[in-house]
């Protein structure tokens, strides 16, 4: 899926919602434990109930990995179920992989061949060599970690280069854009404050941004839309816990839909305000 | 395993060799394809043939991951086989994971609970929040990526901070040491040039360094020992392809041993030269 197609789906669904599938065996409703594969059953019901509202799903790989080989089976079935259900969502592996050479090629193979993801989150520290094996795949996205909102983001991301007076995260944004087209490279931008978002948009005006910090992590959707939206939306805003864990009962998927719908409705207003859709 | 115990094993084996298990189904000898689990069979024979020469094994997780859930089963059996064979090696997951919060906690669970690794390589970009869940486990190591030898390491690792005039990798080394003790934190240092190793040792005099760049990647063991060794050795030097893929025949494990032994013999000389062992 390229940038134009993604924007088309955003306009059609009046949504830039990404639903994070951080599926935790200790947090899903108890009655699901009777199923052969509780993790997949949970994801399936969430997907069936929300796929018209979401433009992306983002399985958080750590949660599957922690279950061993069984977790990877649940992941595989989840991706297959999304593919069977709709071709109008982007499926993002939140894996934050970062290596080089044949190791990085193996990671690309994992997520784009072994599993049929559209996009993978990647760590920038080793530079282009991490990303280049992923760029060889047509219509796939590398989502490069740029700015995060955790406390220790300050450890390194704001260090200022003495030559160009840029913070490291700005250099990552600028350098990252030279690695591929805006149909190939997206950035993870966890910050939800006006000031940071403005700096990010200055550094990467045309790129799609994956914003993980709305909902349980406390970011404001309004601020993100105001300071982050560009002429093709350019935003995928993720919510995980704020959608998928809002009920512990058999109605969990209905409850998830309700919460997803609230976000989608709010998003539709911001898309309308930016003259990107009619309501 | 703490630093003192690791140094004890280094002295006993007269070796600071780490063998990288970058096991690739397309590169292992053809006759192994008749086994139920060719990846595990390859690893098993390599381990049986080299465990007295190596102080660490480092499965490269990308290679297992790319095979889907079956790959993770091979990985699990490999770790179990090492544990059954010897308790005198460190088992390092070369995973370069890097996330925060409950996601990072899930990665720590994966490698320290679901799989029984002693150490995991981690990406520094998000700071302490990536590492802190791993530090909660006793006698386990976080191996933080600091300096790499790939071409695009220049993209970010050498950016110089305007306040303290330090390269980013030096800041990672200095900040990383504040996150835990020298029994908990190790660094990946891919550089094998004298100048870089001297800078690394100045920044992190007491830390263990995991050096991946010897052998197929072209680094000089002599330089690494000369500029990187400290009073408790402080080095784990990895070789993968230069050991495990030196024969394509049924004698591959014998050939691996021969190559491992050559490196171990050379290492014993450097340990002797540094007055850390007697020969």
pLDDT value at position A9?
98
Percent of chain A topping pLDDT 70: 97
Write down the mean pLDDT value for chain B: 95
pLDDT value at position B194?
78
Over residues A114-137, mean pLDDT? 98
Which helix (H) or strand (E) element contains residue B264? helix B252-273
Model confidence at A121: pLDDT above 70: yes
Partner-chain contact A66 B109, CB within 8 Å: yes
pLDDT digits (tens, 9 = 90+) for B121-148: 999 999 999 999 999 999 999 999 999 9
Q: Which two tokens stand for residue A92?
A: 């993002």
Q: Which two tokens stand for residue B246?
A: 């030196």
Neighbours of B255 (CB within 10 A): 17
What is the Cα–Cα distance from A211 to A227, expressed in whole angstroms? 12
Please measure the distance between the N-terminal and C-terminal CA atoms of chain B and give it in whole angstroms.
25
Nearest neighbour of A152 by CB, restricted to B60, B96, B126: B126
Residue from A74, A76, A96 to probe the interface with B (highest B Cβ count within 10 Å) = A96
In eight-state DSSP terms, residue B151 is G
B residues 137-156 closer than 8 Å to A (CB): 145, 148, 150-156
Q: Check: CATH 3.40.50.720 for B3-273?
A: no
Residue A168 contacts B, CB cutoff 8 Å: yes
Nearest neighbour of B171 by CB, restricted to A124, A145, A159: A159
CB-neighbour burial class of residue B275 (10 A; exposed 0-12, middle 13-18, buried 19+): exposed
SS3 of residue B14 by DSSP: coil
A151: which chain B residues are within 8 Å (Cβ-Cβ)? 127-129
pLDDT value at position B217?
53
Closest CA of chain A from B73, distance in Å: 6
Over residues A91-102, mean pLDDT? 97
pLDDT along chain B (279 residues), means of 10: 97 98 97 98 98 98 97 98 98 98 97 97 98 98 96 96 95 98 97 84 97 70 94 96 94 98 96 94
pLDDT value at position A87?
96
Q: Which two tokens stand for residue B244?
A: 């495990």
Three-state SS annotation for chain A: CCHHHHHHHHHHHCCCEEEEECCCCCCCCHHHHHCCCHHHHHHHHHHHHHCCCCCEEEEEHHHHHCCCHHHHHHHHHHHHHHHHHCCCCEEEEEEEECCCHHHHHHHHHHHHHHCCCCEEEECCCCCHHHHHHHHCCCCCEEEEEEECCCHHHHHCCCCEECCCCCEHHHHHHHHHHHCCCCCCEEEEECCCCHHHHHHHHHHCCCCCEEECCECCCCECHHHHHHHHCECCECEEEEECHHHHCCCCCCCHHHHHHHHHHHHHHHHHHHHHHCCCCCC
Q: pTM, whole model, 2 decimals? A: 0.97
B103: which chain A residues are within 8 Å (Cβ-Cβ)? 22, 60, 62-63, 94
Nearest neighbour of A106 by CB, restricted to B66, B124, B168: B66
A residues 19-58 closer than 8 Å to B (CB): 22, 24
Write down the mean pLDDT value for chain A: 95
Closest CA of chain A from B141, distance in Å: 18
In eight-state DSSP terms, residue B160 is B
Residue B265 contacts A, CB cutoff 8 Å: no
Model confidence at A218: pLDDT above 60: no
A171: which chain B residues are within 8 Å (Cβ-Cβ)? 156, 159
Closest CA of chain A from B178, distance in Å: 11
Reported confidence tier of residue A216, pLDDT bands at 50, 70, 90: low
Partner-chain contact A129 B152, CB within 8 Å: yes
A102 contacts A130 by C-beta, under 8 angstroms: no
pLDDT value at position A146?
98
Nearest neighbour of B157 by CB, restricted to A68, A76, A125: A125
Using CA coordinates, name the residue in chain A closest to B170: A156
Residue B242 contacts A, CB cutoff 8 Å: no
Reported confidence tier of residue A229, pLDDT bands at 50, 70, 90: very high
Residue A202 contacts B, CB cutoff 8 Å: no
B225 contacts B212 by C-beta, under 8 angstroms: no
| Rg for chain A, CA atoms, rounded | 18
DSSP string, B167-222: BHHHHHHHHHHHTS-TTTEEEEE---SHHHHHHHHHH-SSSEEEE--BSTT-B-HH
Nearest neighbour of B107 by CB, restricted to A62, A110, A156: A62
Residue B177 contacts A, CB cutoff 8 Å: no
Over residues A238-252, mean pLDDT? 95
B233 contacts B166 by C-beta, under 8 angstroms: no
Contact residues for B228 (Cβ-Cβ < 8 A; gap 6+): B189, B197, B200, B201, B209, B211, B234, B235
Closest CA of chain A from B113, distance in Å: 8
What is the Cα–Cα distance from A46 to A28, expressed in whole angstroms? 11
B123 contacts B99 by C-beta, under 8 angstroms: no
Report the complex ipTM: 0.96
CA torsion sign for B118, B121, B126, B127 is: positive
Using CA coordinates, name the residue in chain A closest to B111: A66
pLDDT value at position A219?
64
pLDDT digits (tens, 9 = 90+) for A135-180: 999 999 999 999 998 999 999 999 999 999 999 999 999 999 999 9
Nearest neighbour of A152 by CB, restricted to B97, B127, B154: B127
B64 contacts B42 by C-beta, under 8 angstroms: no
pLDDT digits (tens, 9 = 90+) for A27-43: 999 999 999 999 999 99
Residue from B39, B66, B175 to probe the interface with A (highest A Cβ count within 10 Å) = B66
């Amino acid at each position: 899926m390229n940038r134009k197609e993604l924007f088309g789906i955003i306009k059609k669904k009046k949504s830039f919602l990404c639903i994070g599938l951080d599926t935790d065996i200790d947090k899903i409703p108890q009655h699901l434990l009777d199923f052969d594969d509780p993790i997949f059953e949970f994801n399936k019901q969430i997907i069936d109930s929300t796929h018209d509202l979401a433009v992306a799903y983002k399985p958080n790989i750590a949660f599957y990995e922690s279950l061993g080989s069984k977790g990877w089976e649940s992941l595989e079935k989840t991706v297959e179920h999304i593919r069977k259900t709709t071709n109008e969502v982007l499926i993002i592996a939140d894996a934050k992989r970062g290596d080089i050479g044949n190791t990085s090629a193996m990671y690309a193979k994992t997520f784009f061949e072994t599993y049929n993801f559209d996009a993978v989150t990647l760590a920038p520290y080793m530079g282009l060599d991490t990303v280049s094996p992923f760029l060889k795949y047509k219509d796939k996205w590398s989502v490069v970690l740029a700015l995060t909102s955790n406390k220790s983001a300050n450890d390194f991301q704001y260090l200022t280069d003495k030559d160009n007076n840029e913070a490291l995260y700005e250099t990552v944004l600028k350098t990252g854009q030279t690695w591929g087209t805006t149909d190939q490279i997206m950035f993870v931008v966890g910050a939800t404050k006006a000031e940071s978002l403005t700096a990010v948009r200055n550094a990467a005006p045309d790129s799609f941004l994956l914003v993980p910090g709305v909902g349980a992590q406390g970011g404001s959707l309004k601020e993100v839309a105001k300071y982050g939206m560009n002429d093709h939306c350019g935003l995928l805003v993720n919510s995980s816990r704020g959608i998928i864990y809002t009920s512990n009962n058999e109605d969990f998927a209905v409850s998830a839909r309700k919460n997803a719908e609230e976000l989608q409705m709010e998003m539709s207003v911001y898309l309308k305000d930016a003259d990107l859709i009619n309501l």
